[in-house]
Amino acid sequence: MLGLPGSVWLRLAEEAGLTVVAEAFADRAYTPEGTTVSRREPNAVLHDPEVVAARCVRLATRGEIEAVDGTVIAVQAGSVCVHGDSPGAVQMASAVRRGLEEVGVQITPFVDVAQP
């Protein structure tokens, strides 16, 4: 099961014996509380592939992401999602992969990330 780090959803899934993977969103803005900004709000969805890639590198290497107000929040995630319905999603996903590989982050299937 995929879900936001620290979410009730992931806790309940884990308690039920399911394999869980905390997921971060590459192309979404975050609140200081660690939730995603509502899509009804301006700038909730990020579009610049290089900005998105840099955020993902920071997330993968330092376990943190910058919230909309500049707050740095800790996020431990085993998966990064690029929404396929975002304009430029393929370019963003390619930039994220390239950025992660350039700093030596190994990209692996979930079976290598999560253990029941």
18: in domain: no
66: in domain: yes
53: in domain: yes
d(CA 19, CA 1): 6
Model pLDDT, residue 13:
93
Distance set, CA 113 to CA 73, 93, 101 (Å):
22, 19, 17
Distance set, CA 53 to CA 10, 13, 25, 94, 116 (Å):
25, 29, 11, 9, 30
15: in domain: no
71: in domain: yes
Domain count, the chain: 1
Model pLDDT, residue 112:
57
103: in domain: yes
Which of the four pLDDT bands, split at 50, 70 and 90, describes residue 113?
low
| The residue type at 73 | I
d(CA 115, CA 46): 31
**pLDDT for 16-63, tens place per residue?**
999 899 999 999 999 999 999 999 999 999 999 999 999 999 999 999
Domain range for 52? 25-108
**pLDDT for 94-107, tens place per residue?**
999 999 999 999 99
H or E element: which one contains 3? strand 2-3
pTM of the model: 0.85
7: in domain: no
46: in domain: yes
